Amino acid sequence: MAVWSRILLAGSALALLAACGPKDTPPPPEEKGFAAVDTARIETASAGAEWLTYGGTYDEQRHSSLDAVNKDNVDQLGVAWTFDLATNRGVEVTPIVVDGVMFVTSAWSVVYALDAKTGELLWEHDPDVDRAVGVNACCDVVNRGVAVYDGKIYVGVIDGRLQALDAKTGDLVWEKVTVDQSKPYTITGAPRVVNGKVLIGNGGAELGVRGYISAYDAETGDKIWRFYTVPNPQKQPDGEASDAAFEQVGNATWGDEGAWVTDGGGGTVWDSIVYDEVNDQIIFGVGNGSPWNRTFRDPSGGDNLFLSSIVAVDADTGEYKWHFQTTPGDNWDYTATQTIILADLPLGPDGASRRVAMQAPKNGFFYVIDAATGEFISGDAFGPMNWATGLDENGRPIEIAAARYGKEPYQQLPGPLGAHNWHPMAYNPDLALAYIPAQEIPQAYAEDPLFFSKDTAWNTGADFAAGVPPIAPPEVAKFLRSTLKGRLIAWDPVARAPRWTVEHDNAWNGGVLSTAGGLVFQGKLNGHFVAYDAATGDVLWDYNVKSGAGAGPGTYMIDGEQYVTIATGWGSAFALAAGFAYDDKVPSTVGKVVTFKLGGTGEIADADLTPIDRTPKAEPFGTDAQLAEGVVDFSRNCAVCHGPLAVSSGVLPDLRWSAISADPEAWKGIVLEGHYSANGMVSFAEYLSEDDVEAIRAYVLAQAHAATAAEDGGE
Ligand code: CA
């Protein structure tokens, strides 16, 4: 109780302070009650003293009106406090700050409430997820955050549940299962709450599901509406809000046959959901097709609405209003789930203000579309690409024919990890600049010859083993590393060009925060958290947070002091699936919330790491045929979590150095009998035979010996 009285006092002081200043006037907590956020309070907030919703405000610009930390003093930022998130898996949360309390999530959908001034733990809620569901998570068991509304905290759980918690205690108020849990659905995204409705989507399109977004009653958890993004296999009404949209525009874009009929078609709504209060509508981003390869998904070759689209629906009923499809007939995992930002730009007649939605999806174009109608205004490549030469007058990509890949691999930019992935983009309305965490991660796409004969969990129709030699020398990993690039682009959406660009030495850098202090904050893959001059891109401050710094930063003010915060952690899709990118430089360590203030004197503890014994644990073995089988089976079943070429970044075990690789029976026990399923490594007996498993062991040991032979040779 002592903790709570202090928090409420802090809240009162904050309210007094805010009442005197021009920045922000949240209703006094003592009048409304703790965390008594409603739609009106979020609508009038300016992402100033508080950070009430995932993107800062309903427009999700991630731009704070605070300027106490600014260009002149940002070099004095030091650590105010840190808090351990008790996980060595990926952390992608943007903290919510309300009434002096910070709400953050960690891996496995655990929620923490912290004193935002001190980092002291107030409560913790663990939804006790069965670790075996981790195998359904394409991109690590991450969570991007909570929503707060009317004294409750809402969190999407990785196993498909939606939970409402008491904001003061963390006690469960209600819980709904939002998915068919027999299918590989996951939830990683943050809910949003609008007019008493909790909005939540899901993920799973890599493994075969049918996507949708749902609205639940914030008070009771009753489902109010659901909008599917892919028709049902019979193209019949579902009795849901999306029925009319499929009748009007959707059904005709799908054939009657193909893998979508059995696999669900994909189109998951796993991240961006924004409330456009001016037009009283929800605008959300839709993910890729399932399977990726349209030749298998829908041989009729249609556009496949609403895959890879931005869709607007009525906020009360979920009824369809408009859509804009960024990638018709998706073939490459080009999701349109990336950050959607709403803003007013001088793009109307005679320079009049026009309300727009902006997005930089995976496909590499920066789009500006009319928020009221979905009309295409402009779209421009923000990085190199070789799948399209541009967009036509309606915004439809002008494709390069070879990008519709066949059996011959086509080395393509962007690849499935996108020219921009989930890392939140920000927008500074004063400078009219969008800040894109952009990247180059090429991928060789080829049609999978085994799509019908090897029905693995990841059966995308694209051949992950294409071009991978049975024994890959370390030079292959080094070559792959050399193809990776990242940059922070300050994009002018009116001039349709970058105003400045900062080059990073690696891909997969962090989300962005913009502030009225003239600053842009972004973390980098190498663990550095950096502040740039928002107008020029000059580096003003650079701090080593000693872990992954991918999450969206936040900022808030308490007792007249501005805090800047970022949740750090090791993991996420790239750390699992691109171990070769990590250079052994950034330590795998426990995730933390790291919060800074001017003059902060705290420190971030060094990771206590036990060095891995990087030696093969058995002699190499296996025929050429066995090794060839091993690379195919490894690439299809293991690489997404343990890394292509069997090179891991250390989130999950690097199998090359595993003692179990020396013991064929123990190896089989894990892969076929699920001996480690409590840790998330479930049985693959559905997909692999005993011979396959032994071939994988042969491949892993071959990779181990290839790596150490190169080191012994002085390489
Ligand atoms: Ca995907």
Report residues of the chain scoring pLDDT below 50.
1-30, 714-715
What does the alpha-carbon distance between residue 644 and residue 629 come to, in Å, rounded to a whole number?
A: 15
d(CA 287, ligand 1 centre) in Å = 6
β-bridge mates for residue 532, sequence order: 520, 539
User: How far apart are the CA of 35 and the centre of ligand 1, in A?
Assistant: 34
How far apart are the CA of 472 and the centre of ligand 1, in A? Answer: 27
- pLDDT, residue 24, reads 46
| CA of residue 288 to ligand 1 center, whole Å | 5
Q: What six digits make up the tokens of 376?
A: 């295409």
**What's the 27 CA to ligand 1 centre distance in angstroms?**
41
Distance between CA atoms of 688 and 253, rounded to whole angstroms?
A: 36
SS (HEC) of 645-672 = HHCCCCCCCCHHHCHHHHCHHHHHHHHC
| Reported CATH class of domain 624-712 | mainly alpha
Q: Give the β-pairing of 497-504 and 397-399.
A: unpaired
Q: What are phi and psi of 216, to 5 degrees?
A: -120, 150
Instruction: Return the exposure string of 169-198: e unless at least 16 CB atoms fall within 10 Å of the residue's CB, then b.
Output: ebeebbebebbeeebbbbbbbbbbbbebbb
- Please tell me the predicted confidence (pLDDT) of residue 582: 84
Distance (Å) from CA 452 to ligand 1 centroid: 20
SS3 letters across 129-185: CCHHHHHHCCCCCCCCCCEEECCEEEEECCCCEEEEEECCCCCEEEEEECCCCCCCC
**pTM of the predicted model, to two decimals?**
0.94
Domain boundaries of the chain, sorted by first residue: 2-61, 624-712
Residue 572, pLDDT score: 87
Q: How do residues 327-349 score in pLDDT, each as one tens digit?
A: 999 999 999 999 999 999 999 99
Selection from 176, 169, 175 nearest residue 151 by Cα = 169
- Written as one letter, the residue type at 221 is G
Query: Considering 115, 303, 333, 463, which one is annotated as catalytic?
Result: 333
What is the pLDDT, as a whole number, of residue 606?
82
pLDDT of res. 7: 38
Reply yes or no on whether 691 is catalytic.
no
